[in-house]
Each structure stands twice: as structure tokens, then as C-alpha cells.
Amino acid sequence: MAVVWGIEIFGPLIEQHGEGGHIVSTASMAGLLSSGSQPYNVSKYGVVALSEGLRVELAPRGIGVSVLCPGFVRTQIMTSLRNMPGASNVQAKKL
């Protein structure tokens, strides 16, 4: 919903100043290719579809729209201590 709220808030402001502008949303390659998590894919495809629709709608007003779809990156996010339940308590004790 953050993408929708951002566009609802900043879209009119960009239009009001009358100098055109550009909206850039961030989705994921999951918005273009199906993989493991259907709910995640659907949410990212929603960002892509919204951005593509707005691009056509806002172009006559001088507002461009792009969507960034970063690829998959191998990280250790799932095994990182900072992402484990109670990790903030462990880190606070170390300080």
C-alpha cells in the first residue's frame, strides 16, 4: 500500500507545481516472473501494473512514471542474527 499512498500524496503535488516530474516505484523481478511466493508475486505485479497504467494516464500532464524491478540477490538475510526474534535484546546486552 505504500506505493499507492506515495502516489496519492505526491502525484497531485507534482502536478500542482506545473513543471512536470517523474514518479519512480520499486517492485521486484517477482512482478515480472513467477516464483515461490504467490502473495509476494501478486503484490509486486500490482506495483508494475499500477506503474504501467499511470505512465499512460499521467504522460499528457508532463509526469513520467517508471518502475524499478531489481533482480534476485543472494544474501544472508534469513540467517542474519538481526532478523531473528529477540535479536534486538541480544544486541542491546552486548552494548
Contact indicator for 27, 72 with CB cutoff of 8 Å: no
Is 40 noted as a catalytic residue in this protein? yes
Contact indicator for 29, 71 with CB cutoff of 8 Å: yes
Contact indicator for 67, 49 with CB cutoff of 8 Å: no
The catalytic position among 8, 37, 40, 88 is: 40
Catalytic residue ranges: 40
